[in-house]
Amino acid sequence: MLRLGTREFGDDELVIMAIVNRTPDSFYDQGATFTDEPALLRVERAVSEGAAIIDIGGVKAGPGEDVSAEEEIRRTVAFVAEVRRRHPDVVISVDTWRHEVGEAACEAGADLLNDAWGGVDPKLAEVAARYDVGLVCTHAGGVEPRTRPHRTGYEDVMADILRVTVGLAERAVGLGVRRDAVLIDPGHDFGKNTRHSLEATRRLPEMTETGWPVLVSLSNKDFVGETLDRPVKERLIGTLATTAVSAWLGARVYRVHEVAETRQVLDMVASIAGHRPPAVARRGLA
């Protein structure tokens, strides 16, 4: 069982985390949800299309203009409070590596801290414990936040992923974070080249076998683009193919831009696996 905020998710439930970028320079939408009204409309649409978690981020993952903790708080915290007011039952996640931002977000009503940079600020897990919220423990290859990998190598990429993510998860529980509120993430593209991310995908069962719920952030990433030689706006098909494979291999939570399309893919996989009945069943019955 995974428990986040007021929600409980069964072991066979495939969960969508919708991305809401509160940045002017997102790689995907170039700031389309930087201002409040478009961002709030994005939340409304994502929830209506089947997202159970809204992931709010104030700093883009890649290199760019420096964003202070104070500016990150300004971009995200009041928005978290407004989403909480409008959607009391949605799970609110904040994508940050900084404990100061995590603390302010939890005060405003966040339910989950999405640490995409692999515990670079060890105080973030302490914040999660203090506020009784969830934590995403990600493998980022030991790189500094907002830097790209350079000639990264691993003797065994999955062994390193397991060492880091399980270690972070166990540390979080030791600090007081609820075990049923901790997820692990292989960190596609983070500290990895395309071959590493592909290998991490096909070896996802090694992560699910740990017992920790696995979150994957696949949406329109560079490993999809390089695999198919497609620019950002032409990566949806590759993303959905990777999503279907990841669902079949046991990943539980999917951080995405395209909610409706992802919901259909996950529902189809769940039905093939026998965990979800068809929405309608008329064929051959009349």
Residue ranges of domains in the chain: 15-273
**Structural Rg of the chain based on CA atoms:** 18
Tell whether the model's pLDDT for residue 30 goes beyond 80: no
The topology (CATH level 3) of 15-273 is TIM Barrel (3.20.20)
Kindly report, residue by residue over 108-150, the tens digit of the pLDDT: 999 999 999 999 999 999 999 999 999 999 999 999 999 988 8
Q: Which of 54, 172, 162 is nearest to 121 (CA)?
A: 172
Kindly report, residue by residue over 221-263, the tens digit of the pLDDT: 999 999 999 999 999 999 999 999 999 999 999 999 999 999 9
Tell whether the model's pLDDT for residue 286 goes beyond 80: no
Q: Cβ–Cβ contacts within 10 Å for residue 64, how many?
A: 14
Q: Provide the CA 151 distance to its chain's centre, in angstroms.
A: 25
E strands, the chain, are 2-4, 7-9, 15-21, 53-57, 91-95, 112-115, 134-138, 182-185, 215-217, 253-256
Tell whether the model's pLDDT for residue 28 goes beyond 80: no
Q: Which of 127, 120, 91, 105 is nearest to 215 (CA)?
A: 91
Tell whether the model's pLDDT for residue 33 goes beyond 90: no
Residue 208 pLDDT: 98
- 3-state class of 16 per DSSP? strand
**What's the pLDDT band for 65 if we cut at 50, 70, 90?**
confident
Q: Which are the catalytic amino acids? A: 221, 255
Q: Cβ–Cβ contacts within 10 Å for residue 163, how many?
A: 12
Mean pLDDT of 30-35: 79
Residue 58 pLDDT: 96
- 3-state class of 121 per DSSP? coil
Residue 150 pLDDT: 84
Look up residue 104 and give its amino acid: A
Residue 264 pLDDT: 98
